[in-house]
A and B are shown apart, each in its own frame.
Chain A
């Protein structure tokens, strides 16, 4: 029996559909290198057992990931990772990260609270990615809680 690499953690109160949380958490795992090409995603049965998530929800999430070309189903064997989402720009060594850290420090210097910063970041993010977001997630809007769920995977 293969080891289950990833355990999904579904926030039942976030208002973000469970299948979308699975998509987000899988992508986060791909970004962080927790999942690498060739890895097998947990089966719908395994996710059902460990996280009591409806198997149809998991399959829906995997179909979405497949559509984006991130994973591929191999009949009778499971769903496997095709490519990673890790990019040099997303690491903590990237200049973008350094700029963000500097910005955070200016925000703190200006007396902004954690919530103020989160609100600004979310709003700027919405402004920049609004169109792309809609295309990727269908009719449902992803709120700040959705983002929180994604970050939690990294813990």
Chain B
């Protein structure tokens, strides 16, 4: 039992505010049950002032999207010299921008679906149809479209027919100015959590995701009952090993710290493809990271309590 006092940051102004508030509440309750004193703070105009006056012993960032994942809040915490659990600002930026993370992994020879990055301005300048046609010629259908930044599948769309492409592009652009277009790899969806301790990063048991309607969109993610999960996922030994290695490699290659969650897909041949990595994974009642923690026989409060100790006492 720890008697520390920590602050949990959640909310913010991103499209994922609602999810973040739920993550923050669940994390805070878990920490309180381990004996910690927790203050829940929104990332607003008051935040800097409160942190610098109240000075919690450590901060946990449960912000999703925007400031919580792009390193901005972490930079502020470094300025204030307040220990925090999780990745440092520079590595946050690398992981937050999906194409940057994919490029890093591809460079290391790890499988990730073929992709292309297209800002809104390209379409405006070159015309939508020539660009979309070229895209389909080069990568082929089906495609996965997502805003390059952000999570919870917001703005993400599967495109199976080229006629769906313009509308899917519009949908993705309503969440951000740049879209990541990936070749859709179909197969078994997995989420693999990574936790770091003094011996380095370790993969948690993979969580297998099976949305009842085939698409793991916002509703499928946050409506209990609409998606089936299996943790630990039933996987062949080889696939389980490759999935774990992929998540640990992503964590190491991108320089992540303390915790991360890699989303991956296993194709028919058993190849595990990297999709994206999250430095501030969701911690809600239907989120994947807590399922992995539980499948490892551990508790959310105990795990984050351990991360707090690492943040305060140093990580060596």
Is B a genuine binding partner of A? no
